[in-house]
Amino acid sequence: MEVRAGDAILEADPEKSQHGVKRITVQGAFVVNLALVASFWGQWGVVFSVVAVGAGLALFNTVFLDWLAKRVDRGVVEAARMAGNALGICFVGIQTQWSPLMCVFMAYNMLWYFGLDRWVRLRMALFLVSVDGVALSTGANPILLLAFSLVGIFGYLVSERRLTLLRESLEHMRRQREALEKAHQELQQLHQRAIEQERLSSLGLMAASVAHEINNPMSFVTSNIGSMLEELREGQNLPELVKEYVDDLLPATLDGARRVNSIVSDLRRFSRGGFEGHVDYDFDEEVRMALRIARVQLGHVQVEQELGEVGRVVGRPRQLVQVLVNLLVNAGQATAPGGVVRLTTRRQGERVRVEVRDTGTGMSEETKQHLFEPFFTTKPPGLGTGLGLSVVHGIIKSHGGRIEVESELGKGTCFILDLPRVPPLPAEDNSGGELRVASIRR
């Protein structure tokens, strides 16, 4: 007789585990059947019954129930398994007059019962009551039945508990594996972030070097054009062509050179490395600097600005410029040609409010939920690293401020920054010296 094993098949290779348990139960059933045949050798009717029922239950538990499991609920299959094995045990038990070996079979069935659903104990109780009832009514020894019933009950409970512990251990291992996978992903992200930051740092150094190289010749150009313009203005009886240069072309050229110098100066200051401590600075001037740096990326849109007189604040000016440049460039990239990008600043008591609004594509709710996560980006490859808004969020938080996003698909986006004029500061600056600002000029 064969009883299929329980489902301690949870992780790793379920098929391999199930076949391993099944092989042991088949071997056990075969050994018990062989012992029954040996003990009743010569009583051919009993031997035939044992062999026939054993072969029949083997086919029933393997072929038929496997076929049935593909068509009905698992509980129905287990109920059929219980009924079939109970009938087989009762039939052979009567034939062998409830030999102790037959009682071993009863306990063996209980020990390897299949399933851990909520009905398994009820099925076990029905199995035990039905087999014991038939055995007692057909002349079995009550003490023998009691002994093997207790062995079966407590053997099953021990087996069930061990299986429960195994499940708990495997669940713990699964959670540990998920935690390790998550930690591995975070390490990969940190590694990728370090690579991106190194690349951006290199680009910043390159920009500073280029700006430095441009600055020197542009200083000569600006100085020479200024000197030439002054000397020509002092001249008398200038030809008409020269007057046109003095009145229009040279002033426009000088203004353009000064704008180049201003942009180069902004780039050099913006890309300057090293630690930046909290300082007292002109908020409005830094906003105008950010607009000058970002203007190249905003040539296809209309840029509107409503800059209030915020005045002087305390913070890290290069970081403020970084935040505004990032938001303005993002707004420009999200806005089609002819659209509008609007920058608004105003002072509200002891706080500063900044709005960067665009008429671009907008964002979905799902995008907004992941907006400030590192490496999250909706831009095509090559146009974004997914670090910009994460850095913006970190800078605003470090200044004691907050950032809000209002956006709707097809209706544009608005980033709202709310910053204190004097952020909460530690007792000492990170650079090792005392704070350079105790108060600000209003």
* pLDDT reported for residue 119: 78
What is the pTM (predicted TM-score) of this model? 0.45
* pLDDT reported for residue 237: 73
Three-state secondary structure readout of the chain: CCCCCCCCCCCCCHHHHHHHHHHHHHHHHHHHHHHHHHHCCCCHHHHHHHHHHHHHHHHHHHHHHHHHHCCCCHHHHHHHHHHHHHHHHHHHHHHCCCCHHHHHHHHHHHHCCCCCCCCHHHHHHHHHHHHHHHHHHCCCCHHHHHHHHHHHHHHHHHHHHHHHHHHHHHHHHHHHHHHHHHHHHHHHHHHHHHHHHHHHHHHHHHHHHHHHHHHHHHHHHHHHHHHHHHHHHHCCCCCHHHHHHHHHHHHHHHHHHHHHHHHHHHHHHHCCCCCCCCEEEEHHHHHHHHHHHHHHHHCCCEEEEEECCCCEEEECHHHHHHHHHHHHHHHHHHCCCCCEEEEEEEEECCEEEEEEEECCCCCCHHHHHCCCCCCCCCCCCCCCCCCHHHHHHHHHHHCCCEEEEEECCCCCEEEEEEEECCCCCCCCCCCCCCCCCCCCCC
Give the rounded distance of the alpha carbon of 355 from its chain centre: 30
Structure tokens at 315: 């913070």
Give the rounded distance of the alpha carbon of 56 from its chain centre: 53
* Residues of the chain under the 50 pLDDT cut: 1-15, 427-442
Nearest to 166 by CA among 5, 8, 4: 8
* pLDDT reported for residue 426: 54
Cα(7)–Cα(10) distance, integer angstroms? 8
C-alpha R_g of the chain: 42
Query: Around 10, how many Cα atoms within 13 Å sit in the side-chain half-sphere?
Result: 15
* pLDDT reported for residue 292: 84
